[in-house]
Amino acid sequence: MLYISNNDFKNKINIMKKTFFLNSILIMLLMITVSSVYSQPDKNYDFIEGGVTFTIPENWDVSREHVLLLLMPKAEDLIIETTLAENEFEVVIEETINKIRLDFPLDTNIIRKDIRIEKFDIVELILQADKMKVNYFLIKTPQEKVLKMYYQADISIAKKYDNEITLIKENIREIKK
């Protein structure tokens, strides 16, 4: 018959408790780390000059270069240039169509989509030229300015970020005062 002293038994119980406690802490730390990697919340960016705020995916960066606002994924394989135009909305639309035609004279099939999100009139201009996608979002702001969001990218890159671009476009809101 095997005999275990009372002290040996208590020591083994204490060791088991410590092991269980340490394993529990390790599991909790692992769960916190994994959940923070997979649940990346989106962030808002206030474009004060235009009176708008929009959602930027967490894995994207925002930078300013004078009057130009640049939105880009961390991989930097796509850049959305954002500026403000002071002209009338219809004038900016016509100027943008003319610019696309000038830059891509052989590709004349520009698709125009008129969209209304919240209080905003938005015109989306799309051109797929060869393996390139050109996309403009022209947004009439509450201050009667026009927010121009533009990117030009390889079609495969544009498709890769389609969900994120849609998130940005569909979550434009007026800055609450």
Are 48 and 175 within 8 A, CB to CB?
yes
Which domain does 27 fall in, by range? 1-39
Shared-domain flag, residues 15 and 62: no
Domain total for the chain? 2
What are the pLDDT tens digits along the chain (177 aa)?
A: 556 666 666 766 667 666 666 656 656 655 554 433 334 457 888 888 888 888 899 889 998 888 888 999 998 899 999 999 988 999 999 999 999 999 888 877 899 999 888 788 999 999 988 788 999 999 998 888 899 999 999 999 999 999 999 988 888 888 876
The verdict on 68 and 122 lying in the same domain is yes
Do 15 and 51 share a domain, yes or no?
no
Burial (0-12, 13-18, 19+ Cβ within 10 Å), 50: buried
Which residues fall within 8 angstroms of residue 16, CB to CB, at 6 or more apart? none
Same domain, 95 and 137: yes
**pTM of the complete model:** 0.72
Do residues 3 and 68 both lie within one domain?
A: no
Rounded to whole angstroms, the Cα distance separating 177 from 174 reads 9
Q: What is the DSSP letter of 86?
A: -
CA 162/CA 168 separation, integer angstroms = 10
* Same domain assignment for residues 58 and 112: yes
Distance of alpha carbon 82 from alpha carbon 148, whole angstroms: 5
CATH code where residue 62 lies? 3.40.1000.10
Whether residues 17 and 104 fall in one domain = no
